[in-house]
Amino acid sequence: MALFLAGCSRKKETEESGSGKLSVVCTATMVTDLVKRVAGERVEVTGIMGPGVDPHSYQPKLSDTLAVQEADAVFYCGLHLEGKMQDSLEALAKRKPAIIAVTDSIPKEQLLAPEEDFPGHYDPHVWGSPRLWSFTVKSVVDGLSKVDPEGAETYRAQGEAYHKELEALHQWALKRAAEVPEEQRFLVTSHDAFFYFGNAFHFEVKGLQGLSTVSEVGLKDRAQLVTMIREKGVRAIFPESSVNPKALEAVAKESGVKVSHEELFSDAMGVVGDVVTMGEESYDKGTYIGMIKHNVNTVVNALK
pLDDT band for position 20 (50/70/90)? confident
To the nearest whole number, what is the mean pLDDT of the chain? Answer: 89
> In angstroms, rounded to a whole number, what is the distance separating the alpha carbons of residues 286 and 265?
10
> pTM value?
0.89
**What pLDDT score was predicted for residue 215?**
53
Q: Map out the domains of the chain with their CATH numbers.
A: 2-7+20-169 (3.40.50.1980), 179-303 (3.40.50.1980)
**What pLDDT score was predicted for residue 15?**
39
Tell me the per-residue pLDDT of 191-227, one tens digit each, with 9 for 90 and over.
888 999 999 999 999 988 765 545 555 555 788 899 9
Residue of 270, 113, 139 lying closest to 199 (CA atoms): 113
Identify the three-state secondary structure at position 289.
Answer: helix
Mean pLDDT of 151-162: 98
Type of residue at 302: A
**What pLDDT score was predicted for residue 281?**
87
> In angstroms, rounded to a whole number, what is the distance separating the alpha carbons of residues 255 and 14?
58
Tell me the per-residue pLDDT of 97-150, one tens digit each, with 9 for 90 and over.
899 999 999 999 999 986 555 566 899 999 999 999 999 999 999 999 999 999
